[in-house]
Amino acid sequence: MAQNRIDRELTTREKTVRKKGWSRPEVLPSPTPEDGYAFKWVRVSTQGQVDATNVSSKLREGWEPVRAEDHPEITMVAVENERFKDNVVIGGLMLCKAPSELPEERNEHYENQNNAQILSVDNSLMRENDPRMPLFNERKTKVTFGKGI
């Protein structure tokens, strides 16, 4: 009995891949990653008004503007401010980069600040504790699933 079978080589996954659906393009393109650097979009202007305070604070924090010639893959460069004409600026946001340690140190700083505030609230709460009616201060959660009948 001869069967009409298709060769296995002709029925590969690539031949039966679904058509890719439309998706909205990114508003801000992602630059090509560089080892040891983190990227961030910094607000330069809002509704046509220059935001010099924000830019100067980010530059003092350690972020440095990325030059347009260093990232030619980002093609939608609009010059909105003469001061940043050689940098990547899109929609009032300028692409900046900093060493990877900078965002990590910043996150660690704010995490320590948050933990100190939580500890302060806990200490204040426990000061009101009475042995006749103790307060419970558990910060653990437990996930349970129902049992089937």
Q: Establish if 15 belongs to a structural domain.
A: no
**Percentage helix, strand, coil for the chain under 3-state DSSP, each rounded to 5:** 35, 15, 50
Q: Does 75 have pLDDT greater than 70? A: no
Mean pLDDT of 19-47: 85
Q: Does 77 have pLDDT greater than 50? A: no
Q: For all residues of the chain together, what is the average pLDDT?
A: 80
Residue 18 gets which letter from DSSP? Answer: P
pTM of the full structure: 0.57
Q: Does 96 have pLDDT greater than 70? A: yes
- Residue 99 pLDDT: 92
Q: Establish if 60 belongs to a structural domain.
A: yes
Mean pLDDT of 22-45: 86
Q: Establish if 59 belongs to a structural domain.
A: yes
Q: Does 115 have pLDDT greater than 50? A: yes
- Distances, alpha carbon 135 to alpha carbons 75, 116, 120, 132, in Å: 60, 20, 16, 10
Which residues have C-beta within 8 Å of that of residue 89, sequence separation ≥ 6?
A: 44, 77, 78, 79, 80, 81, 95
Q: Establish if 111 belongs to a structural domain.
A: no
Q: Which residue has the higher pLDDT, 10 or 110?
A: 110
Count how many domains the chain has. 1
Q: Establish if 75 belongs to a structural domain.
A: yes
Q: Which residue has the higher pLDDT, 117 or 139?
A: 117
Mean pLDDT of 109-123: 91
Which one-letter amino acid corresponds to residue 105?
Answer: E
Q: Establish if 143 belongs to a structural domain.
A: no
Q: Which domain holds residue 72?
A: 37-99
Q: Does 4 have pLDDT greater than 80? A: no
Q: Establish if 53 belongs to a structural domain.
A: yes
Per-residue confidence at 105, pLDDT binned at 50, 70, 90?
very high
Q: Establish if 131 belongs to a structural domain.
A: no
